[in-house]
């Protein structure tokens, strides 16, 4: 009976992560992973039955954390009692923890996942941000013209892309935290003024 070793499993996962980050899921093969990890292809299959299993082993925990982070942020509305400074601290803290702890895994999910169940993840979260923002606006006033809703789309897109651009640059955690704080401050203050025009 084949004895599976934790050290070998970790070598496989490290090799796979590096290849996925460099080449993407589709252009990475089990042969490449096995060679880099120093194991035979047949032995690799004893640890992971497929390339998909390796990818999801690397990313599932991060995806669950992304879901939880956005759920926490979406619990807050922009009503009359909205405190932008307090929300900036909350949002920045949530995103800093997420993006520093799971930086590489998030890049796998959004930049390297073509051919997996995660390939539309970025678009899905942009859509969820749009839906949340539209609900917030309609809660107070419903006189926006149909064409005006595109504003929500490009603001939501710019926030998500901005966060991803920060972690695509392989800088220190302190640099990431500082840039997240600046982006979140810009985003929240802009939105708070926008909502204030609707509820005043």
pTM, to two decimals: 0.87
Helix ranges, 24-83 (H): 30-37, 41-47, 51-74
State the DSSP code for 38.
T
Say which CATH topology domain 58-199 has. Tetracycline Repressor; domain 2 (1.10.357)
Contact 107, 191 (CB under 8 A): no
Specify the CATH architecture of the domain 6-47. Answer: Orthogonal Bundle (1.10)
With H, G, I as helix, E, B as strand and everything else as coil, classify residue 68.
helix
Query: What pLDDT score was predicted for residue 196?
Result: 63
Q: What is the pLDDT of residues 65-116, one digit of tens each?
A: 999 999 988 886 655 566 778 888 888 999 999 999 999 999 999 999 999 9
Q: What is the pLDDT of residues 2-42, one digit of tens each?
A: 557 999 999 999 999 999 999 999 999 999 999 999 999 99
Q: In the chain, pLDDT over 70 holds for what percent of residues? A: 85
**For the residues of 114-169, what is the DSSP string, one character each?**
TTSTTTTHHHHHHHHHHHHHHHHHHHH-----GGGGHHHHHHHHHHHHHHHHHHHS
Query: What pLDDT score was predicted for residue 1?
Result: 42
Contact 185, 88 (CB under 8 A): yes
Contact 167, 107 (CB under 8 A): yes
Q: Where in the chain is the domain with CATH 1.10.357?
A: 58-199
Q: Where in the chain is the domain with CATH 1.10.10.60?
A: 6-47
């Amino acid at each position: 009976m084949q004895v599976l070793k934790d050290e070998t499993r970790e070598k496989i996962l490290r090799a796979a992560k590096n290849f996925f980050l460099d080449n993407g899921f589709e252009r990475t093969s089990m042969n490449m992973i096995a060679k880099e990890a120093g194991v035979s292809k047949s032995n690799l299959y004893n640890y992971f039955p497929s390339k998909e299993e390796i990818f999801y082993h690397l990313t599932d925990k991060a995806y669950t954390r992304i879901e939880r982070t956005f759920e926490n942020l979406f619990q807050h509305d922009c009503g009359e009692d909205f405190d932008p400074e307090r929300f900036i601290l909350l949002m920045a803290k949530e995103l800093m923890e997420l993006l520093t702890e799971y930086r590489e895994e998030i890049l796998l999910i959004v930049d390297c996942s073509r051919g997996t169940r995660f390939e539309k993840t970025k678009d899905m979260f942009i859509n969820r941000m749009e839906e949340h923002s539209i609900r917030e606006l309609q809660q107070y006033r419903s006189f926006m013209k149909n064409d005006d809703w595109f504003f929500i789309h490009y603001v939501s897109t710019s926030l998500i892309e901005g966060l991803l651009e920060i972690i695509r640059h392989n800088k220190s955690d302190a640099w990431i935290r500082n840039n997240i704080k600046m982006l979140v401050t810009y985003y929240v203050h802009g939105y708070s003024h926008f909502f204030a025009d609707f509820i005043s």
